[in-house]
Amino acid sequence: MAKKTRLTAAAVKIGAAVGRADRTAHKVAKAVQTARKEVADLSKQVEKLARDVKKASRRVKRALR
């Protein structure tokens, strides 16, 4: 009977560890998804700024002629 209690206790510890790992994995996945969206937004902003700089440089070149 004592062995059965030990097995149950071990199973509980294993289950708790798996639960913690699963929760952490979900948190990491959510953070990665958020970071991916932020990087996409930032890259769009950088592209827009690059176009604006290109347009501004054209205007300056035309003004200097």
**5-62 confidence digits (pLDDT tens):** 989 999 999 999 999 999 999 999 999 999 999 999 999 999 999 999 999 999 998 8
Task: Determine the pLDDT at residue 42.
Answer: 98
Range 19-24 contact pairs with CB under 8 angstroms and sequence separation of 24 or more: none
Quick one: pLDDT band at residue 63, thresholds 50, 70, 90?
A: confident
Residue 54 vs residue 4, higher pLDDT: 54
Residue 3 has pLDDT above 90, yes or no: no
